[in-house]
Structure 1
Amino acid sequence: MNSHPDSASVLPSKDLVILGGGLVGMTLALAAAKQGITSHVVEREDPADLTAEGVDGRASAISAASWNLFANIGLGDVLAPLGCPIESIAVTDQHKPGRIDFRPKANEGTLGRMYSNRDIRLALFEAARHEPNIAWHTKADVVKRERGPHGVSATLSDGRVLPGNLLIGAEGRRSPTREEDGIGLVAWDYHHTAIVTALAHDRPHDNVAWEIFYSAGPFALLPLLDLKTPTASGRVHRSALVWTVPTKDAAGVKALSDGTFVAEIEKRMQGMFGGIELIAKRMAYPLTYQNATRIVGDRLALVGDAAHGMHPIAGQGLNLGLRDVGALVEVLAESMRLGLEPGDAQVLKRYENWRALDNFTTMSVMDGIVRLFGVPGRTASAVRRLGMGAVQRMPSLKTFFMNEARGLSGQLPGLLR
């Protein structure tokens, strides 16, 4: 039997072969397409399944810089009415005195916007369908990846071969592309699990994102737009919940009856939004830290969770991936205008150098916060609240943290400005 692919099964070559068509992979394909850069995008799942009601109940905080990226690639009009502005962030240690409030000045805009992942996916997928620079291959499994001196290719299980110039791993934390290249990980397990769902409540959230720290783990309430149709009990205000519990307790928490689960949430909310009810199914995600020892190889670049995965404590994971997208597209577009190939080693080195410091700094800060607030005991709590009170009284420090939350610090790619 001839092992060489039939010439009819080799598709036209593209600049990029993007493995993984999720939030980061598809944003990359669209951002590249706007610069005239072509791509094959391979996604294992069926887009209809990924965007079905109730499949992914997660919501993401989109920073100001990430919002600029979406607007700059033509998604602003579609996404603008779907996101809930985050006008301030309240950080508290178990509701005790000494909290911090991050609230920008009136002329500085919001700290970001909360979106359901489903809404972002729908907007990305709809745009991809109409983009001639994107060849989108769904329900497709990659069985072979090849990289050589003159190009790359991905072979699908149905025999089709997708040739290109640069291979991009965007498959998420368990990226087979990263593993196949032998790229190592600096990684550890937090031994915590995030329980994610959505709540309807009596009182409005006033566009405030709450991060409430308990010794067992953070408890975050993130503002979402009001429901268009009230619940059976007449509630329209809603928030996303990310409740971090020790992994040994996660199965038990997930198995609680709705009534008992709501009672546990009410205990931690202390009546701040009045009566509450569950309006989405509960999902559980183990929390780990992982950072690739490098994010490029021969004709290879990693983006998003394939390159770095972090604790969701400040909602920066997706935003970090979108900064990868902005930097990579800028480096590729500038280099290709100079006549260099996308897979050129010096092009990829520039991308890696640009992202290295931001990735390391952001992930180290978030890991430090997780560890600081995870120290149990009254003394630790008192020290934390003393520190938080000091930050509350220092406008310059609060501005620094707000710029970090907005994604506006460091050397920003043009697409994120």
Structure 2
Amino acid sequence: MNQTLETEVAILGAGPVGATLAAALSARGVPCAILDAAPLPPMELQGFDGRAYAIALASRRVLEAAGIWDRLPTTPCPIQGIKVADGRIGERPSSLDLDFEAAEVAEDPFGWMVEARALRVALNARLPELPGVQVFAPMTAEVARDADGATLTLRDGRRLRARLVVGAEGRNSPLRASAGIGSARHDYGQIGMVGAFAHEKPHNNRALELFLPAGPFAQLPLNDQHEFGTSHLPHASAFVLAESRGVAQRLLAMDDARFKRELQRRLGDWLGEIEPIGRRWSYPLTAMHALRYTAERMALAGDSAHGMHPIAGQGLNIGFRDVESLARLVGDAHAAGEDVGSPALLRRYQAERRPDALMMIGATHALEKLFGNDIGVVRLARRLGIAAVDRIPALKRAFARQAMGLPLRA
């Protein structure tokens, strides 16, 4: 007879959102299981591959509470300032810009740049030591839900019974599809590229966001003490670049010397001489929003529920907000001896998370449409708008707190 295991919550997907949710539930004393199709062996810190996440202040607090932040094997780089400007490739950015300073908003930085390899090492180190957490990886499962819970039939024949199953598998979530939950989608016709470069001048923990007609370009500070291969330049930053598919494919095919010139055309002399380091990564830019975040005994989190344009760098941070909400609701229910997968709890989760994500998707979509053109009168209007925000402290503070994931009022 096949073995049947019991738990409170089963999480599908051990990426940053799913793994952090497991850790957050464990911290609240909620037994859970996490499954992923890929293996999660103990990892040594591999060579820098060019990928990094911008982690907002609110997201750092989620990672700290889950016991993940302190296990990062490299030191995150704080973002103390952000310059936002309108521009055109090959020209200096508009002087009608917007400067955010973290010190004007809170005692903490806006966020931290965390290398993707470092976060993965921290998650993999944390998962096996979590009390009450069962890890199945590599493992796949068939999921059947009923009024009392969910039954996961594992590939090896074992069965896992849970009160609630959470889909954190990514945008093409099989769990979402199996529940018949549709999604609204928009294709921007662009490709996003991410990577890193070494540079001559110090970044002083400041980020640059340039709105270019073809798509946004962002420079995000990395710590200088990491090993960046053979570069002779002392400082480093990550970049995020969006371009039309045709242009992006040409950029991705370039050697480092040619790609360096393209980066320099967008960046100007902001950081002096530059040199690409690590790999270049790319992905199609689309927006996606699930029509529902819940079904019977089921919840969606992270990219399984929503995806947005990277123009504001908030995609993963919105996923961490899902983690905070779901872990809090489930943790409170568990502590009170209540059903952690009840319809009432799932209604509260959707009411908390869906409007917030929808607002951010709408905001990033509006930004992309407003700044993604080169019409003269529109360009002038948006530059004046950026300058106006820079001169309205209350509005500027509200934008900054939103980016940090904080309430609009302190």
1:178 to 1:229, Cα distance in 2 relative to 1, 3 A: closer
Tell me, yes or no, if structure 1 residue 282 matches structure 2 residue 283: no
**Match of 2:122?**
123
Residue number in structure 1 paired with 2:180: 182
Offset from partner CA, 1:225-256 (integer Å, 9 cap, x none): 11334653422210111111101322221111
Task: Find the counterpart in structure 2 of residue 34 from structure 1.
Answer: 27
1:398 maps to which residue?
396
Q: CA deviation at 1:51?
A: 7.7
Deviation at 1:47, TM superposition (A): 2.4
Change (3 A) 1:396 1:359: same
1:75 corresponds, among 68, 78, 81, to 68
In 2 relative to 1, CA 283–54 (structure 1 residues): closer, same or farther, beyond 3 Å? farther
Q: Which amino acid aligns with 1:303?
A: A
What secondary structure sits across from 2:285 in the alignment? strand
1:364 positional shift: 1.2
Residue number in structure 2 paired with 1:335: 333
Q: Does the aligned pair in 2 maintain the 1:17–1:153 contact within 8 Å?
A: no
Within the candidate set 138, 142, 152, 2:150 is matched to 152
Provide closer, same or farther for how the CA distance between residues 215 and 320 of structure 1 changes in structure 2, counting only shifts above 3 A: same
CA distance in 1, matches of 2:248, 2:186: 18
Contact 1:88 1:111 in 2 (8 A): yes
Q: Which of 193, 198, 201 is residue 199 of structure 2 equivalent to?
A: 201
Matched residue SS, 1:110:
coil
Q: Work out the number of aligned pairs and report it.
A: 404
- Per-residue deviation, 1:159: 2.0
Residues 29-76 of structure 1 deviation map (CA, whole Å, 9 limit, x = unaligned): 000001111111011112249987369642111111111111222234
Q: Distance in 2 between matches of 1:141 and 1:250?
A: 35
Q: Deviations over 1:232-287 (max 9, x none)?
A: 34222101111111013222211111111111111111121111111111111111
State the one-letter code of the partner of 1:45: A
- Secondary structure of 1:399's counterpart equals helix
Stretch of structure 1 that moved more, 147-156 or 13-22: 147-156
The answer to whether the 8 Å contact 2:42/2:121 transfers is: no
- Is the Cα–Cα contact under 8 Å of residues 54 and 112 in structure 2 kept in the other structure? yes
| Partner Cα distance (2:213, 2:133) in 1 | 47
1:281-300 matches, cutoff 5 A:
281-300=279-298
2:148/2:163 contact within 8 Å kept: yes
**Residue of structure 2 in register with 1:136 after alignment:** 135
Once the two structures are overlaid, the 10-residue window that deviates more, 70-79 or 52-61, is 52-61
User: Measured at CA, do residues 230 and 350 of structure 1 come closer, stay the same or move farther in structure 2, by a change above 3 Å?
Assistant: closer
Per-residue CA distance 1:121-160 (angstroms, 9 max, x = gap): 2112111111121111112122x11111222122222222
Are the counterparts in 1 of residues 11 and 168 from structure 2 also a CA contact under 8 Å? yes
- 1:172-321 matched pairs, under 5 angstroms: 172-229=170-227, 231-321=229-319
Question: Are the equivalent residues in 2 in contact too, given 1:196–1:282 (CA < 8 A)?
Answer: yes
2:16 aligned with 1:23 = yes
Q: What is the DSSP-based 3-state SS (H/G/I as helix, E as strand, rest coil) of the residue aligned with 1:281?
A: strand
Residue 414 of structure 1 corresponds to none
Partners of 1:166 and 1:354 in 2: how far apart?
18
Whether 1:14 and 2:7 are equivalent positions in the alignment is yes
Task: Go from structure 1 to structure 2 and tell me whether the alpha carbon gap of 1:76 and 1:141 turns closer, same or farther (over 3 Å shift).
Answer: closer
Letter in 2 for 1:83: P
More divergent stretch after superposition (55-64 vs 304-313): 55-64
Instruction: Tell me by how many angstroms 1:81 deviates.
Output: 5.8
- Is the partner of 2:374 in helix, strand or coil? coil
For residues 80 and 347 of structure 1, the distance between their equivalents in structure 2, rounded to whole angstroms, comes to 36
The residue that corresponds to 2:90 in the other structure is: none
The separation in 2 between residues aligned to 1:58 and 1:382, in whole angstroms, is 34
Q: Which residue is 2:37 aligned to?
A: 44
* Alpha-carbon shift at residue 86 of structure 1 (Å): 0.5
Aligned equivalents of 1:290, 1:232: Cα separation in 2: 40
User: Equivalent residue for 2:113?
Assistant: 114
Write the distance in 2 (CA, Å) between the matches of 1:301 and 1:348.
Answer: 7
Q: Which amino acid aligns with 1:7?
A: N
Q: Percent identity?
A: 37
Q: Which amino acid aligns with 2:2?
A: S
Q: Which amino acid aligns with 2:132?
A: N
Residues of 2 paired with 1:66 and 1:311: CA distance? Answer: 19
Code of the aligned partner of 1:283: W
SS in 1 for 2:156: coil
- Tell me: CA distance 1:177–1:230, structure 2 relative to 1, closer, same or farther (3 Å): closer
Partners of 1:51 and 1:118 within 8 A in 2: no
What amino acid does structure 2 have at the position aligned with 1:403? R
> Are the equivalent residues in 2 in contact too, given 1:358–1:410 (CA < 8 A)?
no
Q: Residues 268-322 of structure 1: CA distance to partner in whole angstroms, max 9, x if unpaired?
A: 1112111111111111111100111110000000000000001111111111011
Give the aligned residue type for 1:346: A
Structure 2: state its 5+ residue gaps: 88-92
Partner of 1:3: none
Shift of 1:359: 1.4
Let me know the Cα RMSD of the aligned residues: 2.0
Q: TM-score, with normalisation over the residues of structure 2? A: 0.94
Q: Tell me how far apart the structure 2 counterparts of residues 334 and 183 of structure 1 sit (CA, whole Å).
A: 27
TM-score, normalization by structure 1: 0.92
In structure 1, the residue matched to 2:370 is 372
Report the secondary structure of 1:47's partner residue.
Answer: coil
